[in-house]
């Protein structure tokens, strides 16, 4: 009778363990988890884009500042040389040389102005890119955080159920003989799924395979009874 009671309690313990397994599997396979991973990858990608956009804006800003500075110096020099030319008091030869120098300087000024316009356009594009990425990044972080909240809420519910199951398990273990627990734990370690089942007539409640009358007669004499097919512990 004690064996029957202990094996019956072992079956109860196994049902609790299967419930725990189910909850743990549910906890680790929430559809929101995959969505969160995807959302997090998007946030990381946009962080890289944001860094690249910031770098591009800084480069355009530095280029614009440098070009403006060089343009200002060049324009002052060109104007100064032009004033010398218009002031007169120099030989025709020197005036001709100075005129070519002034033309060359203003040619450089024109080219430098083109550079400045280019950097202005680059800066405007970079600013637009920074704003675009910032908006997308903010939206992506919001999506990720929303998923995190959903996951946390669902985990809280599951963890509460797990806490109850673990409490039930602690009580159920007290009812099972250590000898059976050792066999049970070994089965649980090396075999997934159901490792304790009812022997219903001549059918194993674990693998659901049929046993012959001789096999049933032999099994019920074992301590504990074990299915010859799946080696599950059978409660008769």
pLDDT in tens, the chain (236 residues): 455 568 999 999 999 999 999 999 999 999 999 999 999 999 999 999 999 999 999 999 999 999 999 999 999 998 998 898 888 778 888 888 888 988 999 899 999 999 999 999 999 999 999 999 999 999 999 999 999 999 999 999 999 999 999 999 999 999 999 999 999 999 999 998 999 999 999 999 999 999 999 999 999 899 999 999 999 999 98
State the CB neighbour count (10 A cutoff) for residue 119: 21
Helix and strand counts by DSSP (H, E) for the chain: 5, 3
Domain that holds residue 47: 30-160
The answer to whether the beta carbons of residues 158 and 27 sit under 8 Å apart is yes
pLDDT of residue 6: 85
**Position 90 in a domain:** yes
Helix or strand holding residue 162 (H, E): helix 92-174
Nearest Cα neighbor of 87 from 103, 73, 74, 99 is 99
Give the helix/strand (H/E) hosting 204: strand 203-204
> Is residue 56, in this structure, part of any structural domain at all?
yes
**What's the CATH code of the domain at 101?**
1.10.287.1700
Is the entire prediction scored with pTM above 0.85?
Answer: no
Residue 179 in any domain: the answer is: no
> What is the pLDDT at residue 200?
93
179: its two tokens: 């000898």
Q: What percent of the chain has pLDDT over 90?
A: 83
Q: Is residue 46 part of a domain?
A: yes
- C-alpha 176/C-alpha 15 separation (Å) is 14
Give domain status of residue 74, yes or no. yes
How many structural domains are present in the chain? 1
Would you say 43 and 141 are in contact if contact means Cβ atoms under 8 Å apart? yes
In this structure, is residue 109 part of a structural domain? yes
CA 121 to chain centre: 36
Tell whether 188 is covered by a domain: no
Residues 6+ apart with CB under 8 A from 84: 90, 98
Q: How buried is 161 (Cβ within 10 angstroms: 0-12 exposed, 13-18 middle, 19+ buried)?
A: middle
**116 with 68: CB under 8 angstroms?**
yes
Measured CA angle at 44 (ends 40, 50), to 5 deg:
135
Q: Tokens 């704003």 map to which residue?
A: 131
**Residue 101 covered by a domain:** yes
For the record, the structure tokens of 208 come out as 């659901």
């Amino acid at each position: 009778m004690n064996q029957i009671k202990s094996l019956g309690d072992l079956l109860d313990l196994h049902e609790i363990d299967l419930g725990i397994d189910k909850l743990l599997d549910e906890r680790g396979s929430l559809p929101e988890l995959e969505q969160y991973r995807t959302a997090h990858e998007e946030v990381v990608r946009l962080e890289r884009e944001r860094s690249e956009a910031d770098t591009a804006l800084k480069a355009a800003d530095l280029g614009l500042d440098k070009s403006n500075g060089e343009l200002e110096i060049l324009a002052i020099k060109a104007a100064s040389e032009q004033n010398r030319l218009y002031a007169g008091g120099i030989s025709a030869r020197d005036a001709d040389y100075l005129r070519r120098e002034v033309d060359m300087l203003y040619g450089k000024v024109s080219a430098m102005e083109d550079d400045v316009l280019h950097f202005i356009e680059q800066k405007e594009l970079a600013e637009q890119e920074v704003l675009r990425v910032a908006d997308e990044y903010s939206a992506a972080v919001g999506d990720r955080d929303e998923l995190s909240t959903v996951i946390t809420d669902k985990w809280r519910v599951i963890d509460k159920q797990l806490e109850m199951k673990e409490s039930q398990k602690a009580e159920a273990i007290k009812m099972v003989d250590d000898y059976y627990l050792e066999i049970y734990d070994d089965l649980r370690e090396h075999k997934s799924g159901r490792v304790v089942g009812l022997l219903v007539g001549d059918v194993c409640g674990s693998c659901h395979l049929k046993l012959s009358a001789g096999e049933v007669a032999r099994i019920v004499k074992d301590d504990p009874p074990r299915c010859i097919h799946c080696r599950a512990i059978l409660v008769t």
